[in-house]
Structure 1
Amino acid sequence: MEALVSRREFLKASAGATGSLVLAVHLPGLAAAAHSFTPNAFVTIGSDGMVTLTMPYVEMGQGTYTSIPMLVAEELEVDLSQVRTAHAPADPAYRHGLFGVQLTGASASIRAAWMPLRQAGAAARTMLVQAAAKQWGVDPASCKAVRGEVVHAGSGRKLAYGALAADAAALPVPKDIALKPAGSYTLVGKGAKRTDTPSKVNGTAKFGIDAVVPGMKVAAIAACPVFGGKLAKVDDSKALKVKGVRKVVRLDDAVAVIADHTGAARKGLAACAITWDEGSNKGFSSAAWEQKLASAGKEKGLVVHDEGGYAKVAGGAGRKVDAVYTMPFLAHATMEPMNATARVGKDGVDIWTGTQAPERLQNFVGKALGIAPASVRVHNQLLGGGFGRRLEVDVAVQAALVARQVDYPVKLIWSREEDIQHDYYRPFWRDEMAAVLDAGGMPVAFSHRFAGSSIEARYAPEWLAKGIDTDAVEMAEGPYSIPARYVEYMPVETGVPTGFWRGVGPTHNIFVVESFIDELADAAGKDPVAYRQALLGKNPRALAVLNLAAQKAGWATRKPGPGEGFGVSVGTAWGSFAAAVLECAVSKEGTVTVKRVVTAIDCGQPVHPDGVVAQAEGGQVYGLTAALYGKLTLENGRIMQSNFHDYPLMRMNEMPVMETHIVPSTESPGGMGELGTALIAPALANAVFAATGKRLRTLPLEVGPV
């Protein structure tokens, strides 16, 4: 990502009463005026020499609060331990440089921060050096920044950053800012301990669920189990007799019980006799949804790609191959239950929670209460898992509506059942694939037509490109060189709310494309890796990761035993490239055991390599859970699953051996938060086919007896 901003646009220095150097950084892509100096992130150097970075991105386990401070520390020439992080408030000033809204997601934090935060560190370093040189009356070129101090080469004199902060802030902003060349990095690209690990281990880390506000009470809630339904009536007489219960609150579509503690709130909620108006969706089911998607496939959709005269090639000679794939609704099931604490007073509203979208939360709470968004103060906390679920702000709106009815703060905590049955789900997809193979078995035409919900149309209509959901169609054509390509998308909606689920579009499309490419290789009688290599000649970075993964996994020398198989997949998304080779075993009863996963990654310049590995492997665990177990079904307008007994997670004893190899690169960083998730399902499905001869086109993978 290039920084297309002037010096005046991205940096302003000012001296405060505490003698600090404060740098306001503009990330590219914002529509701010050149002289507005509205920051996306603040770098503050205090008189104690400590650097505080106000983070425009949230920490939800992905390592942002380690990797992004590394960018500043690298250029500022300080140790990572000298950089503290603080949550940014909800404010348009902190909008994401790539999206124009304040959020964390789409594997985009490092991509957006890469240039501006290094520039901020470099500018601060330059100004500190100039301040020291001015004090000593020497040429700045004779001075150097070293580990939080400025050192004069000729005399050995030193001044700490804290002592220079006030003087540096009074200097003019440097016109030319030189960034360190890649070969001179001391932090970026090196191993570093996660800065948030100690507090998470010793229990001092504060997540949304840990919020404690004076006078606070706790609430439990039950919303209508049918999507779009409303509350008809509630008999709360028994609930109000439960010791500790303070109040029963009625919302349009939910009932909340406020109590002194969680136990009383849950017991009081269970004692409520609730009658629901189930509305128009009460007869909706998974079968009805599948039929609706199938019907949509018979209609003309939105044409995304039509290249190489596909219709003519597809109507000509050649072997035809086609297949239909489906993927079910999926819940996020974040480790930390959904929660928010709200205080509604005459001076405005305070919300304590962990959110990926503070500004959206501020706007939605303001609208729900009929007050100005600026009156809503968001106190963001660490997130116990996000995966796109905390891009939604429904629980915060509920908490505010409940707290409005009392004169004390209320912490609202969802049960796991409420979470599973009232999520914003990964869409249910139906994909029709078709290809034409030439005499040598190679594809000369490729078609991908699919139907499913458009998340962007609900969440951010301004992101649509000519009416097309840019996320839904990402990687729908794959990374391969095929002469004629056609992609068509049929947006279909029902009352089921859908949302971003750890790489929605590519996670869906990479599974379908990589599974179908494997089908084409089989139809051609060719090795799956060799087949892909022949199609990736014009995509060298994708080809390189495929070659590396195959080599490290021993693809060429593999000798699977009975019921064993190897599968491969390639993914390119979020500016990164990756390939995975997976080895599995399938019992005669159809039980799948994943034995080993070898992954190769080219994510450009890796800022925090340990974090890259953790992201890749963590994403694969998340993806394996979905591929083996993830399935939600609807009957009578409601989700039938309710907790981990019927919506299970991957267990520790099921974990495979995982190896991750990073391709050295000095390209601008790509995203890594979701690529591992996208790669794993097709690699597993292809391995199951190699082991059993069964081609499974529906997730989760249900093999059956073999």
Structure 2
Amino acid sequence: MISRRTLLRGTAAGALVVAIPVPALASESLMPNVFVRLDDQGRITATAPRPDTGQGVRTVVALMVAEELAVDTSDITVEQAPGDTERFGSQAVANSSSVRQLATPIRTAAATARCLLVTAAAQRWRVPVTECVAKDGAVCHPRRGKLPYRALVRAAAALDPATVPVELTPPEKWRLLGRTRGGRVDARDIVTGRTRYGIDARPPGGLVAVVARPPWLGAVPDTIDDTTTRALPGVVEVLTLTAPGDGQGGVAVVARSTHQALRGRDALRITWHGGTPAADSRAWITDLETALPASSPINGVQRIYRMPLLAHAPMEPMNATAHVRPDGVTVWAPTQDPGGLRTQLARQLGVPATAVRVEASASGGAFGRRIEPDPVLEAVACSRRTNAPVQVLWTRADDMRHDSYRPMSVHRMSAEIGVNGMPIRRAHEVVTWPLTVLPPFANPALIKASGDHFPYTVPGDVTVTVRPAPLRTGFWRAVYAGQFLYAEENFLSEIGTRSGLDQIALRRALLPAGSRLHRVLDTVAARARWDKPARGTARGVACHEDYGSAIAVIAVAEPESRRVLRVHAAVDVGVALHPSGVRAQVEGCVADAVSTVLGAQITVREGRVVESSFGDYRWARIGHTPDIDVTIVQTNAPLGGLGELAYPPAAAAIAAALAGGAPVTGMPFGTDVG
């Protein structure tokens, strides 16, 4: 039983605070909190406080509200909350935390509405509350009949929520949550083009801006000749953008259409100076390797792993729309943190937060990139100059060549091997760059905490050396864990091969007794028929525990043809509220893993990022995608996170399978890094 005051105390200590008026005012709608609203026409609206960046949070919100209100998801309209941390708490989509942190508040919000409706019906019928039940949008009583929610809204809204005990629907009575049927509630809108993404924002009188960005790293404009540009039809303004925060600046051309803005940018004559025109990513990886300590603390088996720069490459390139007015500013953007963005804009513009409205649109991919505000700040600067709404559009080449990349890193793994062929002591030495978009990530301890999730009972030390980053770096799916685990699991696979040990048995022996990883490892081994290898194939396995969840992955590949045939995963997120969404998240991570292991990397030559599109940034096509089998292991563990969980073990398992028993030395597999 959860009382209203208990909920308030519990959520105030976390990332999300539920605001509940006590008592609620009698009105034509029932809104006992900021997440659920029922009106006297029978309409039910749920508010998703965090943006949907493809992870399906709107669907989970709809499922939770429908479950607790005893209706179907088709009866729920899901609205996206604007940026407002005072009302909704943290709105950041990061650290695979959205569902974990929203589950209790959203479910309790809907359950509160249900209990108020049931109480109102019981009072009208003058019967005990325990004799009434909510079902199919109505409150039912065995003798009194039923009352639809719309007939009870006014009476329920007059009740004091603090006086009504709230009980969540127990899992054994779930109709929707945890069930295998059902996909995304917005799937039809997405595939038919009705979903509005950030790039679809079209406020009345809106203009479009594109930016001429530095041709090499760190360059700034020296001279700007915009005479031809300003004479072109549709061009409204040309302005120089200073680098916002860790951004890169450039020269923006604002026009009445995208085509006119692009023509205007092409007509600019700019000379550039400064920066690092001779930068080369091959030298960077050499510099990182040179920074390794002269000798390892362990004299035994050793291997060095090199990890490349990676771009985020969302299907929807970066964009934002802003309208700065004398009385405030409105922003439309596919941001990962509308509340934080609102606070930042208010501070930058010197206005109260109430004068800033951030509308979080659907996002065509994010993967950590859209936590950064640079496109929004560019749109705000353009709007301030033109006194009109302005949408800043990044082209695919802009997005690829001016990203905040996943840092390069070098890892030296060392292990002492016992008489039984098992590792008995280990060392993991890392040299990498910080995340320049968040200065605290220059701290080696923070990088280690992000990356080091070694689950096996092999004693040893992990040391991190941080070198200055020569370009902008930022959050990329799984952050540092994707690099740490790739080295650790491939090194463990090499030890197993050297010692003639079965890779599953090796990991089982090294996992702590009672580990959740034991169960998912056994499950995936059975699903992949580990004891019956197919001729001509090789297999790799990896385990990972993070975000309160556990996963084991087995990849099957044909090393000779460098084809990944199948990927099996068993995942334990506690209770999977939306199984279809769980599978989709794992599948997305596997696609990223196939892409990065088979060739995707960012390279720099003569100060310029070479890759400009999916033509040379080798992301997996449909034909490269393996069969993906995801098994959900339901447990009683607390609800875990998922969005980033599967990428690190999937990448490690795929590389090990492609190697076919040979040592892996880096990512991409079989390609020079840098």
Q: TM-score, normalised by structure 2?
A: 0.92
Q: State the alpha-carbon separation in 1 of the partners of residues 139 and 579 from structure 2.
A: 29
Cα gap change, 1:135 to 1:3, in 2 (>3 Å): closer
Q: 1:80 aligns with which of 64, 73, 95?
A: 73
Cα gap change, 1:95 to 1:48, in 2 (>3 Å): closer
Aligned partner of residue 405 in structure 1, secondary structure: helix
- Residue 21 (structure 1) aligns with: 30
Aligned partner of residue 359 in structure 2, secondary structure: strand
Q: State the alpha-carbon separation in 1 of the partners of residues 338 and 62 from structure 2.
A: 21
Cα gap change, 1:119 to 1:367, in 2 (>3 Å): closer
- Residue 261 (structure 2) aligns with: 265
**1:168 shift after superposition:** 1.3
Q: Kindly indicate whether residue 636 of structure 2 is the aligned counterpart of residue 636 of structure 1.
A: no
- Residue 113 (structure 1) aligns with: 102
- Residue 62 (structure 1) aligns with: 55
Aligned partner of residue 84 in structure 1, secondary structure: strand
Aligned partner of residue 544 in structure 2, secondary structure: strand
Q: 2:413 aligns with which of 433, 447, 458?
A: 433
- Residue 222 (structure 2) aligns with: 232
Cα gap change, 1:518 to 1:574, in 2 (>3 Å): same
Alignment of 1:186-197 (within 5 A): 186-190=175-179, 191-197=181-187
Q: Is the 8 A contact 1:344 1:400 kept in 2?
A: yes
- Residue 199 (structure 1) aligns with: 189
Q: 1:684 aligns with which of 626, 645, 654?
A: 654
**1:444 shift after superposition:** 1.6
Alignment of 1:456-471 (within 5 A): 458-459=437-438, 461=440, 467-468=443-444, 470=446
- Residue 305 (structure 1) aligns with: none
Q: State the alpha-carbon separation in 1 of the partners of residues 453 and 55 from structure 2.
A: 28
Q: State the alpha-carbon separation in 1 of the partners of residues 451 and 464 from structure 2.
A: 13
Q: State the alpha-carbon separation in 2 of the partners of residues 4 and 474 from structure 1.
A: 36
Q: State the alpha-carbon separation in 2 of the partners of residues 475 and 239 from structure 1.
A: 48
- Residue 519 (structure 1) aligns with: 494
Q: State the alpha-carbon separation in 1 of the partners of residues 423 and 88 from structure 2.
A: 43
Q: State the alpha-carbon separation in 1 of the partners of residues 393 and 312 from structure 2.
A: 16
Q: State the alpha-carbon separation in 1 of the partners of residues 453 and 666 from structure 2.
A: 19
Aligned partner of residue 35 in structure 2, secondary structure: strand
Q: Kindly indicate whether residue 477 of structure 2 is the aligned counterpart of residue 502 of structure 1.
A: yes
Q: Is the 8 A contact 1:91 1:359 kept in 2?
A: yes
Cα gap change, 1:531 to 1:452, in 2 (>3 Å): same
Q: Kindly indicate whether residue 103 of structure 2 is the aligned counterpart of residue 103 of structure 1.
A: no
Deviations 1:450-470 (A, max 9, x none): 122233x74274x99xx5554
Aligned partner of residue 126 in structure 1, secondary structure: helix
Alignment of 1:147-162 (within 5 A): 147-155=136-144, 157-162=145-150
Q: Is the 8 A contact 1:597 1:658 kept in 2?
A: yes
Q: Kindly indicate whether residue 304 of structure 2 is the aligned counterpart of residue 327 of structure 1.
A: no
Aligned partner of residue 474 in structure 1, secondary structure: helix
Q: State the alpha-carbon separation in 1 of the partners of residues 527 and 437 from structure 2.
A: 43
Deviations 1:235-268 (A, max 9, x none): 1122223222222222233111112211111111
Aligned partner of residue 449 in structure 2, secondary structure: coil
Q: State the alpha-carbon separation in 1 of the partners of residues 514 and 286 from structure 2.
A: 38
In structure 2, give the amino acid aligned to 1:503.
Answer: A
Q: Is the 8 A contact 1:448 1:476 kept in 2?
A: no
Cα gap change, 1:267 to 1:62, in 2 (>3 Å): same
* Identity value in percent: 34
Aligned partner of residue 648 in structure 2, secondary structure: helix
Q: State the alpha-carbon separation in 2 of the partners of residues 480 and 406 from structure 1.
A: 59
In structure 2, give the amino acid aligned to 1:586.
Answer: P
Q: 1:406 aligns with which of 379, 386, 390?
A: 386
Cα gap change, 1:420 to 1:629, in 2 (>3 Å): same
Q: 2:577 aligns with which of 591, 601, 607?
A: 607
Q: State the alpha-carbon separation in 2 of the partners of residues 94 and 529 from structure 1.
A: 48
**1:274 shift after superposition:** 1.1
**1:370 shift after superposition:** 4.8
Q: 1:595 aligns with which of 555, 558, 565?
A: 565
In structure 2, give the amino acid aligned to 1:139.
Answer: P
Q: Is the 8 A contact 1:57 1:103 kept in 2?
A: yes
Q: State the alpha-carbon separation in 2 of the partners of residues 689 and 545 from structure 1.
A: 24
Structure 1 stretch displaced more, 615-624 or 73-82? 73-82
**1:658 shift after superposition:** 1.4
Q: State the alpha-carbon separation in 2 of the partners of residues 135 and 4 from structure 1.
A: 23
Q: State the alpha-carbon separation in 2 of the partners of residues 687 and 643 from structure 1.
A: 28
Q: Kindly indicate whether residue 555 of structure 2 is the aligned counterpart of residue 582 of structure 1.
A: yes
- Residue 71 (structure 1) aligns with: 64
Deviations 1:502-529 (A, max 9, x none): 1112222221111111112122221111
Q: Is the 8 A contact 1:11 1:120 kept in 2?
A: no
In structure 2, give the amino acid aligned to 1:6.
Answer: T
Q: 1:342 aligns with which of 303, 317, 322?
A: 322
Q: Kindly indicate whether residue 546 of structure 2 is the aligned counterpart of residue 573 of structure 1.
A: yes
Q: State the alpha-carbon separation in 2 of the partners of residues 505 and 390 from structure 1.
A: 18
Q: State the alpha-carbon separation in 2 of the partners of residues 22 and 354 from structure 1.
A: 27
Q: Is the 8 A contact 2:554 2:568 kept in 1?
A: yes
Structure 1 stretch displaced more, 351-360 or 391-400? 351-360
**1:372 shift after superposition:** 4.5
Q: State the alpha-carbon separation in 2 of the partners of residues 407 and 650 from structure 1.
A: 43
Deviations 1:315-337 (A, max 9, x none): 6xxx7111111111100111011
Q: State the alpha-carbon separation in 2 of the partners of residues 471 and 164 from structure 1.
A: 54
Aligned partner of residue 450 in structure 2, secondary structure: coil
Cα gap change, 1:22 to 1:551, in 2 (>3 Å): same
Q: State the alpha-carbon separation in 2 of the partners of residues 299 and 496 from structure 1.
A: 26
Deviations 1:150-204 (A, max 9, x none): 111233x211222212211222224643222221111110122311111112221
Q: State the alpha-carbon separation in 1 of the partners of residues 64 and 439 from structure 2.
A: 30
Q: State the alpha-carbon separation in 1 of the partners of residues 228 and 628 from structure 2.
A: 53
Aligned residues: 654
Q: State the alpha-carbon separation in 2 of the partners of residues 186 and 228 from structure 1.
A: 56
Q: 2:284 aligns with which of 279, 289, 293?
A: 289
- Residue 231 (structure 2) aligns with: 241
Aligned partner of residue 78 in structure 2, secondary structure: strand
Q: Is the 8 A contact 1:56 1:94 kept in 2?
A: no
- Residue 12 (structure 2) aligns with: none
Structure 1 stretch displaced more, 565-574 or 48-57? 48-57
Cα gap change, 1:702 to 1:51, in 2 (>3 Å): same
Structure 1 stretch displaced more, 385-394 or 219-228? 219-228
**1:284 shift after superposition:** 2.8
Cα gap change, 1:603 to 1:394, in 2 (>3 Å): same
Cα gap change, 1:11 to 1:245, in 2 (>3 Å): closer
Q: TM-score, normalised by structure 1?
A: 0.88
Structure 1 stretch displaced more, 326-335 or 571-580? 571-580
Structure 1 stretch displaced more, 5-14 or 330-339? 5-14
- Residue 153 (structure 2) aligns with: 165
Q: State the alpha-carbon separation in 1 of the partners of residues 68 and 474 from structure 2.
A: 38
Query: What residue ranges of structure 2 are gaps of 5+ in the alignment?
Result: 10-17, 243-248
Deviations 1:601-647 (A, max 9, x none): 11110001111111111211122111112211123333221112211
**1:595 shift after superposition:** 1.0
Structure 1 stretch displaced more, 507-516 or 635-644? 635-644
Cα gap change, 1:94 to 1:108, in 2 (>3 Å): farther
- Residue 467 (structure 2) aligns with: 492
In structure 2, give the amino acid aligned to 1:230.
Answer: V
Q: State the alpha-carbon separation in 2 of the partners of residues 328 and 496 from structure 1.
A: 13
Query: What residue ranges of structure 1 are gaps of 5+ in the alignment?
Result: 25-40, 301-310
Deviations 1:86-143 (A, max 9, x none): 12121222565xxxx4301221111111222222222221111111111111111111
Aligned partner of residue 111 in structure 1, secondary structure: helix
In structure 2, give the amino acid aligned to 1:12.
Answer: I
Cα gap change, 1:447 to 1:539, in 2 (>3 Å): farther
**1:398 shift after superposition:** 0.6
CA RMSD of aligned residues (A): 2.4
